[in-house]
Amino acid sequence: MAEKQTDDAFVEFERVQKSYDGETLVVKDLNLSVPRGEFLTMLGPSGSGKTTCLMMLAGFETATHGDIRLGGTSINNIPPHKRGIGMVFQNYALFPHMTIAENLSFPLEVRKIGKADREKKVKRALEMVEMGDFGGRRPAQLSGGQQQRVALARALVFEPELVLMDEPLGALDKQLREKMQFEITDLAHNLGITTVYVTHDQTEALTMSDRVAVFDDGRIQQIAPPDALYEEPENSFVAQFIGENNTMLGTIKEIKDSVALVELDGGAVIDAKPINVSDVGARTRVSIRPERVEVDKNRLQPGAHTIKAEVLEFIYMGDIFRTRLRVGDNDDFIVKTRNAPDQRRMQPGEQIEIGWLPEDCRALDA
């Protein structure tokens, strides 16, 4: 993730809107700029507009309004085949009637590249994805993971500067998916190409990307590097969509020196860091990550805020313990603790005191 962020925007969306039926907007006022060489992931639930954005960028959908620029020039009126963008499809879309080598050769042929050159490039691309021996096979003779690699090689063989990937790992099993995640990011960074990756899998987004754009309701809710996205969500949608989260509704009592005093609906008053709340008396949703909650009094950091809780359920998950608590009127408050030798296993019904640092507790919109 140590990619240098250059300033020149390679891909730009400016005030882009898209409507299919003329009544509702699927993409609402999208502004996005992707610097050269970045691995950007578009993450969001289905129907959030992320795939539409990708298709507009690839040229298969036209923007209803706004401007899409690639390398500084508007590509609104450029047909897909002239955009020079590599694309990996969800089902790979390898041409079943061609061999692997022919599949890879196809983009070179339509670019009128000489035969010798073509063969060299195909060979190099196949070796790049460790599929050098499979050139003569047909797609149907390959496993899902192998087809995935070939699709990747095909999207890269004509050396595009931008590669789009539309949920390319969706059809693979978990182990293979994790392996391929690593390989794809590795390849993208080594080649220095700009990648726009669409997924609804947040783990995939967090592990692969330089930056993640979280989509919801046709808008980008937050665009940030994975760590910032996870630790500093800017609104309650992002907080709840990325990772697991404990949320409690409350009302702002007071804001002072970037510390908000929140009165939870259950009556307790806690400190929180105000993010997108400003007015006293406004409803808020405070959010705290399960692993940032401390259940052992002795380990509480100085300045930590404590609150009473009742243990409802204890789940042993191997590497961690997952404990469900009742805090205030929220009886779905999750705490994750590491399975360390000195970690106590709590019993249901036990009354305990838990605590967290005020800066880990974020007051977001309700």
Closest CA to 127 of 162, 153, 98: 153
Dist. CA 33–CA 362, nearest whole Å: 28
Member of 26, 53, 85, 126 binding another protein (CB under 8 A)? 85
H or E element in which residue 106 lies = helix 100-110
Cβ atoms of 363 and 258 within 8 Å: the answer is no
Cross-strand pairs, 68? 13
Member of 15, 81, 253, 345 binding another protein (CB under 8 A)? 81
Name the amino acid, one letter, at 178.
E
Return the exposure string of 57-68: e unless at least 16 CB atoms fall within 10 Å of the residue's CB, then b: bbbebebeebeb
Q: By C-beta, is 86 or 274 nearer to another protein?
A: 86
Q: By C-beta, is 58 or 223 nearer to another protein?
A: 58
Contact region for another protein (CB under 8 A) — 57-65, 283-291, 301-309, 325-333?
57-65
Phi and psi based region of residue 331 (left: phi greater than 0; alpha: psi -120 to 50; beta: remaining): alpha
Q: By C-beta, is 116 or 140 nearer to another protein?
A: 140
Q: By C-beta, is 96 or 281 nearer to another protein?
A: 96
Q: Is 74 in the site for another protein (CB under 8 A)?
A: no
Member of 1, 110, 269, 315 binding another protein (CB under 8 A)? 110
Dist. CA 234–CA 2, nearest whole Å: 23
In the complex, minimum distance from the CB of residue 163 to another protein, in angstroms, rounded to a whole number: 10
Q: Tell me which residues in 159-178 interact with another protein (CB under 8 A).
A: 164, 171
Q: By C-beta, is 158 or 314 nearer to another protein?
A: 158
In the complex, minimum distance from the CB of residue 301 to another protein, in angstroms, rounded to a whole number: 48
Q: Is 100 in the site for another protein (CB under 8 A)?
A: no
Q: By C-beta, is 35 or 86 nearer to another protein?
A: 86
Q: Is 134 in the site for another protein (CB under 8 A)?
A: no
Tokens of 203: 């783990």
Dist. CA 205–CA 199, nearest whole Å: 7
Close Cβ partners of 342 (under 8 Å, ≥ 6 residues apart)? none
R_g of the chain, CA atoms, integer Å: 24
Q: Is 80 in the site for another protein (CB under 8 A)?
A: yes
Dist. CA 46–CA 228, nearest whole Å: 23
Residue with tokens 């692969």: 208
Q: Is 179 in the site for another protein (CB under 8 A)?
A: no
Q: By C-beta, is 35 or 139 nearer to another protein?
A: 139
Q: Three-state SS for 29?
A: strand
Q: By C-beta, is 113 or 300 nearer to another protein?
A: 113
Q: In a 10 Å sphere around its CB, with 0-12 CB exposed, 13-18 middle and 19+ buried, how is residue 161 labelled?
A: middle
Member of 44, 49, 86, 290 binding another protein (CB under 8 A)? 86
User: Site for another protein (CB under 8 A): how many residues?
Assistant: 37
In the complex, minimum distance from the CB of residue 89 to another protein, in angstroms, rounded to a whole number: 5
Q: Is 60 in the site for another protein (CB under 8 A)?
A: yes
Name the amino acid, one letter, at 157.
V
In the complex, minimum distance from the CB of residue 122 to another protein, in angstroms, rounded to a whole number: 13
Binding site for another protein (CB under 8 A): 58-60, 79-87, 89-97, 106-107, 110-111, 139-144, 147, 154-155, 158, 164, 171
